[in-house]
Amino acid sequence: MDSRRPHTARAVATMTVALAFAAVSLPWRVSAQELRPPFLAPENSAWEAGPRLLARMPAADRGFDVVRYGLELRLPMTDPSFGGVESLLVLPRQTMSSFVLDAASISVGIIASNRGVVSATSDTLQQQLTLTLAQPASAGDSVLFIIPFQRVGPPGQGWYYYPKGASDPPRDVTPAGDTIGYTMSEPFDAHFWFPCVDDPASKARSAGIAVTVPQGYTAAANGTLVSAQADPVTGWVRYVWNESKPITPYLMCVTVSKFSHVTAFPTYRTSDGRDIPIGYYVWPASEAQVTSLLPSVVDMVDFFSRTFREYPFEKYEMTGVAPFFYGGMEHQTLTTLHSAHVTNTRLVDHELAHQWWGDYVTCGTWKDIWLNEGFASYCEALYAEHVSGAPGLNQVLQGFLGGPSFASIHGRQVYDPPMSELFNLAEYYKGAWVLHMLRNVIGDSSFFSVLRTYAGRFPYGNAVTRDFQDVVNAVTGSNYDWFFNEWILQPGYPVYDVAWGYYSAEGQQGIQVFITQQPPLQSYPVFRMPIELKFSGSGSDTTVVVVDSLLVQSFEVRLSFHPTQLSVDPGNKILKVLRPLRTIVAEKGSSPRSFRVGQNYPNPFNPSTTIPYQVPVRSRVTYEVYNVLGQPVAGGDAGIQGPGFHTVHVDGSALPSGIYFYQIKAAPLEEGGRMWQDVRKMTLMK
């Protein structure tokens, strides 16, 4: 989903009611003969041969697997009400008689089953519906429930309805181009429009949706259109859709309005010769716009298919709706877009990418939502790179930095966001940057192999962050848990303070580079990252890579020319803040000829700082820190240092704010050498 703003958590009822449901008055009757395939089961249904393994997560484990959701809906489109009949096919994994579903804002009628009498009880606080068989079913027995239901209450949460011209301020003032009804379920609003196991880790093996609507309306849903038949008496049209691939409830959808259907020609053809229908359902005013974009959509499908793996579903279409509180939503095979943004290339790209990252491989828990949103966001950058090369890639990534919101976005932990802020920008922007950094750390070949392997290991299933980590480690043959620990499981980003100096000795030029990490918050880790350093000067340039992993670290680089400029991470491969570079004490043309002490950096500091100095000969170096009363408060022995540039690190965590003085002493080891010392002032500001 492209929300680019937080999603509001659903309201929860404040009291519990347990009751057996009585019959409810439905607007029409559905005979058993009408509940036919694809609603009871798909053709050549695999469930008859017994259960097969699917990737599942324990969070959704209720003792049974959902084999198929079948929905028969009737939408009058004159008001928000609608009713239907659900055929729910499940397979117990143990002997059981009670089956717990999620349900809210739904009134159900008398429920039937192929296993005999069914009683139903509701817990409104938990928003659950429990169906209990008179006789328990054994593990592997197919259990079919026929559930007549009516949605009750006003539209919103799961089901949205707007008459022509209506808007929904303040959330969206865009008027509906025509009367429209649609579902929107992420993260857990599917149970507000049909009983289900409303958890991303619970995937039915298939689903069927039939929608009967008045003449003039089009009903779009997941999967392949099996038929569209008009009643010769009423003129109402029954659209039958079948999704043959596994699907989780939040990705199921229905959208109804007076749409024009625009399709791409030529369309995308898979490597095994399948033609994938690609198109839009939009109001007539948008026909020309979407027609012009469709060739680009076909190219997107082709690019992602070649980059990841073949497009995994039967079709790819989009609907344009308004009012709508988001940019788009990646319903399986049928993305929902805000009508004002149906030709926004970045948005279309993002939602299409979700068909692989979110629909084909679905996050196992909402803690892992970055596996959906970070991946789809990075696909915006990948497609821009495909179209425009490195400048396109960099432009998208620069946008993901967030400008003045950088710290509030990227300071957050990507994994396990608060449910009230599930769709904050860290999962999108920082998640995309994490993938970009991973690509640069392990290399292009390994990175794209990781993505293909990850998709192939969890096809039509679920994965969590640990699963993705395991794929990275397996493909590369190395352990990259450190990378995920700092970038996904912890908050923050590195803040680098870099100082450097040049010297010449024994016919070789050398550079001392001092990198200090200055975490803005104590909760931020010290980051381990390879950093590119580009040295330029005298008509030459050289790029070296150093691995920085300490709070304070120094590196010595030898060159055959005298550099006059240093660029840190010139390719912007690291999500970071870089303080202005500083040149430390240095003497051109020889080894240092004198003892010198530089100004500490940073200054003011909190809680630590680095003191640079140089010695001309091998010396034993000590340092002391004094308060304004001249009392020593810190210090130590820096050991024996050779001629060149060096640093000492001072930790002021135990000191109060104030002005301090530091003294560096160097005692030459050569006979007759005199002691050198120097004092400078620094400020600790907490």
pLDDT digits (tens, 9 = 90+) for 31-41: 333 434 334 44
| pLDDT, average across residues 182-196 | 97
pLDDT band at 15 (very low <50, low <70, confident <90, very high): very low
The pLDDT tens digits of the residues spanning 81-92 come to 999 999 999 999
Q: Strands (DSSP E) along 430-469, which ranges?
A: 461-463
Residue after which a domain boundary falls, among 575, 590, 605:
590
Does residue 43 share a domain with residue 121?
A: yes
Domains identified in the chain, total number: 4
Residue after which a domain boundary falls, among 590, 615, 636:
590
Name which of 87-91, 330-334, 588-592 the model is least confident about.
Answer: 588-592
Does residue 122 share a domain with residue 44?
A: yes
| pLDDT, average across residues 522-546 | 93
Does residue 514 share a domain with residue 469?
A: no
Does residue 529 share a domain with residue 472?
A: no
Task: Say what the pLDDT of residue 444 is.
Answer: 97
If one compares 484 and 59, the residue with the highest pLDDT of the two is 484
Please classify residue 591 by burial: count the beta carbons closer than 10 Å to its beta carbon, then call 0-12 exposed, 13-18 middle and 19+ buried.
Answer: middle
Arithmetic mean of pLDDT over the chain:
88
Residue after which a domain boundary falls, among 569, 590, 611:
590
pLDDT band at 550 (very low <50, low <70, confident <90, very high): confident
The pLDDT tens digits of the residues spanning 291-303 come to 999 999 999 999 9
pLDDT band at 560 (very low <50, low <70, confident <90, very high): confident
b/e map of 80-91 (b: 16 or more CB within 10 Å)?
bbbbbbbbbbbb
In the numeric block, which tokens belong to residue 536? Answer: 């330029």
Phi, psi of 561 (to 5 degrees): -140, 165
CATH number of the domain that residue 585 is part of: 2.60.40.1840
Does residue 628 share a domain with residue 666?
A: yes
Does residue 178 share a domain with residue 78?
A: yes
The pLDDT tens digits of the residues spanning 241-293 come to 999 999 999 999 999 999 999 999 999 999 989 999 999 999 999 999 999 99
How many other C-beta atoms lie within 10 A of the C-beta of residue 65? 23
Does residue 504 share a domain with residue 471?
A: no
Does residue 624 share a domain with residue 671?
A: yes
In the numeric block, which tokens belong to residue 642? Answer: 């050779």
Name which of 12-16, 400-404, 467-471 the model is least confident about.
Answer: 12-16
b/e map of 510-525 (b: 16 or more CB within 10 Å)?
bbbbbbbbbbeeeebb
Task: Say what the pLDDT of residue 48 is.
Answer: 29
Residue 519 has pLDDT above 70, yes or no: yes
Residue 24 has pLDDT above 50, yes or no: no
Does residue 229 share a domain with residue 128?
A: yes
Task: Say what the pLDDT of residue 671 is.
Answer: 67
Does residue 395 share a domain with residue 417?
A: yes
Q: Does the CA dihedral 486-487-490-491 come out positive or negative?
A: positive
How many other C-beta atoms lie within 10 A of the C-beta of residue 335? 26
Does residue 232 share a domain with residue 94?
A: yes
**Residue 317 resides in a domain:** no
If one compares 167 and 39, the residue with the highest pLDDT of the two is 167
**Residue 329 resides in a domain:** no
In the numeric block, which tokens belong to residue 577? Answer: 């803040």
CATH number of the domain that residue 56 is part of: 2.60.40.1730
Task: Say what the pLDDT of residue 674 is.
Answer: 78
- Answer left, alpha or beta for residue 156, where phi above 0 means left and psi between -120 and 50 means alpha: left
| pLDDT, average across residues 156-173 | 94
| pLDDT, average across residues 134-149 | 96
Q: DSSP 3-state assignment of 132?
A: strand
Task: Say what the pLDDT of residue 589 is.
Answer: 42
**Residue 12 resides in a domain:** no
Domain that holds residue 537: 493-590
**Residue 361 resides in a domain:** no
Does residue 465 share a domain with residue 401?
A: yes
Length of the chain: 686
pLDDT over 70, % of the chain: 89
| pLDDT, average across residues 141-166 | 94
Angle between helix axes 431-442 and 390-399 (nearest 10 degrees) is 140
The pLDDT tens digits of the residues spanning 404-418 come to 999 999 999 999 999
Task: Say what the pLDDT of residue 11 is.
Answer: 29
In the numeric block, which tokens belong to residue 532? Answer: 């590119």
CATH number of the domain that residue 670 is part of: 2.60.40.2550
b/e map of 250-281 (b: 16 or more CB within 10 Å)?
bbbbbbbbbbbebebeebbeeeeeeebbbbbb
- Report yes or no: 640 and 620 within 8 Å, Cβ to Cβ: yes
Task: Say what the pLDDT of residue 290 is.
Answer: 97
Q: In angstroms, rounded to a whole number, what is the distance separating the alpha carbons of residues 337 and 632?
A: 66
Residue 369 has pLDDT above 90, yes or no: yes
CATH number of the domain that residue 408 is part of: 1.10.390.10
| pLDDT, average across residues 326-337 | 97
Q: Strands (DSSP E) along 244-345, which ranges?
A: 254-257, 260-263, 268-269, 275-276, 278-282, 316-321, 328-329, 334-338
The pLDDT tens digits of the residues spanning 473-493 come to 999 999 999 999 999 999 999
Residue 467 has pLDDT above 90, yes or no: yes
* Bridging pattern class, strands 64-74 and 676-684: unpaired
**Residue 516 resides in a domain:** yes
Residue 6 has pLDDT above 70, yes or no: no
Please classify residue 565 by burial: count the beta carbons closer than 10 Å to its beta carbon, then call 0-12 exposed, 13-18 middle and 19+ buried.
Answer: exposed
